[in-house]
Chain A
């Protein structure tokens, strides 16, 4: 008797689950090691099938935010500390805001990092030199420019583009309202924020032309650019909303693609590093891979509302593995079949 043919639309048999046991704040691959930042202050290195190493990056504290450059996972805690953890489990404190919560954190590919605690934004260059700037209101999001040592800081009523190595006042991108996360396109032409009132706002540079992207039923808290820079995928609706950025004008006047429409909101998105394939995580724990060109879908994980929304999704550099984590402490690694 032949065994039943596995459904071609499911990849669930290629997923190895790992119980994280705590709210997963962020995920990354440190070289080949899937790594999770957990709300209880620890960093979990998944070193083999069913084997994990727990590193107390923030003892007796919690992790609020994390970012990775592929070499290390940098975490910001409610203890005011910024800690760099590497795949060997070594930790190093790279910043300390004396008990203030670290609200936002960003790393640049060259190893620089920036964090915000209260109104103070601190940038640390690759040599460890610190610069600070006081934002007009508490920053909610940070990201580095694709080139050069420059940080976009999102806050109430807009974004400030700060060169940490100059004394000049940051350049302002203004739009009324509360801006949450911020992202900068790889070609440097677009800065996009998510907003309190369920929309995105973008600016085309250098003209600072405004772009409104609306129609979301909830806040967008996850962005991902496609490897070719032509698409920006976003969470916050009952499908991943993917905006076209290939033309000079950006997405204005063009409808977005809607990928993976389901009766549950998308909570995380992550584009594959080398193909137009989007990993989509939902608030009920469901995870799909969607091919942008034809909308074809592959199931990674079934709904698991008990263990909550997908809160972390990350691909490895080569695009062979996808690590995920949820609000309720579930986690796992997908290895794409060869």
Chain B
């Protein structure tokens, strides 16, 4: 497993600071060599023989489903790079500002040749603190990139006031409360905050949870409201909850569920059926399950309809055998998902 090449997907709007970050990764002394797959070829002013131009060719798979897509060009490029795998330690895939990250991520789960040799490390989204709020209103792809991210680099914070910054962060959290968020100027973030995250590693899924599970106090409302679209909380509407601004996004929500032990005989058919039916709307899903009479934790993650799950380490002595599930998606029926999960209780 560990000799699989890690792949970081770098998304974000043109001008948000993606290229600045990429140039830093390529020039800073960190003792690692990166192969970079870029779309805006020529933007990188660095002569590097491991920079490869790509065409973002999104192919549908033959199951006739619109969400089941892969990047055909990426499969070919990774196959080519793997012939020279001694030349680099990791791969970075830059997507265009308009790209949906899902086909890129799905490529690493669906294509056997790719998944044998490379593993997705994290989806990193670079966002412009000044313009993101506007983009979230007029550009569905910007919302997708925020929703999909494991790490969000909120850049150019020097160009906004503290109030504006709080506002844009609240908007990000309305869509994706779970990503690790870094505020930066000139994309100056420690590179280990971006690279080597293991965000897709089933073993590490709990490790990124605190960011979303510890937002308990006064913040539970996002669970309670996200089915409640018609109460007037559109993207332009903010409540004040004890000084913390909270936004609702009209179409992109997250649903997080906590419950005790679950029955695998009920859970597996339910999650499979849910992701098959609602897959086009579910961008990301993750979960850690305490199966009844099972000493090990069951961990899963998904991108649209594609699920990857496994029994991982033992529950530790004294560790609460609690099941946790998270779904991020578009127009999710939170009530239905919640009820379905509750029905799996053991």
Give A contacts to B, CB under 8 Å: 23, 25, 39-40, 60-62, 64, 78, 99-101, 103, 118-119, 137-138, 140, 156, 176-178, 196-197, 218-219
Contacts and interface: CB of A to CB of B under 8 A. Distances in A.
- By secondary structure, the A interface counts as loop
A118 B55 contact: yes
B84 A23 contact: yes
A204 to B, nearest CB: 21
Interface string B13-50: 00000000000000000000000000000000000010
5 contacts: A62-B84, A78-B52, A138-B55, A138-B72, A197-B62
A39 to B, nearest CB: 4
B77 interface: yes
B53 to A, nearest CB: 7
Contacts of B73: 138
A184 to B, nearest CB: 21
A331 to B, nearest CB: 15
Contacts of B53: 99-101, 118
B215 interface: no
Contacts of A64: 80, 83
Given A100-B53, A101-B53, A101-B77, 20 more contacts: A23-B83, A25-B83, A39-B84, A40-B84, A62-B80, A62-B84, A64-B80, A64-B83, A78-B49, A101-B52, A101-B80, A103-B76, A140-B72, A140-B76, A177-B62, A178-B72, A196-B61, A196-B72, A218-B113, A219-B113
A333 to B, nearest CB: 22
B131 interface: no
B188 interface: no
A118 to B, nearest CB: 7
Q: Nearest 4 CB-CB pairs, A to B?
A: A39-B83, A23-B83, A178-B59, A64-B80
B57 A138 contact: yes
B78 to A, nearest CB: 12
A78 B80 contact: yes
Contacts, number: 56
Interface of B: 49, 52-53, 55, 57, 59, 61-62, 70, 72-73, 75-77, 80, 83-84, 111-113
Contact of A218 (B57, B59, B61, B112): B112
A219 B112 CA distance: 9
Taking each of B49, B70, B111, which has the highest tally of chain A beta carbons within 10 Å of its own beta carbon?
B49
A138 B53 CA distance: 12
A100 B52 CA distance: 8
Nearest to B59: A178
A39 B81 CA distance: 10
B190 to A, nearest CB: 31
Nearest to B73: A138
Contacts of A61: 49
A282 B70 CA distance: 27
Nearest to A41: B84
A64 B77 CA distance: 10
Contacts of A118: 53, 55
B137 to A, nearest CB: 33
Contacts of A156: 57, 59, 72
Nearest to B113: A219
Given A39-B83, A138-B73, A196 B49 contact: no
Given A64-B80, A137-B72, A156-B72, A176 B57 contact: no
A166 to B, nearest CB: 27
B201 to A, nearest CB: 24
A138 B76 CA distance: 10
Nearest to A99: B53
Nearest to A175: B62
A264 to B, nearest CB: 14
B75 A196 contact: yes
B195 to A, nearest CB: 23
A96 to B, nearest CB: 15
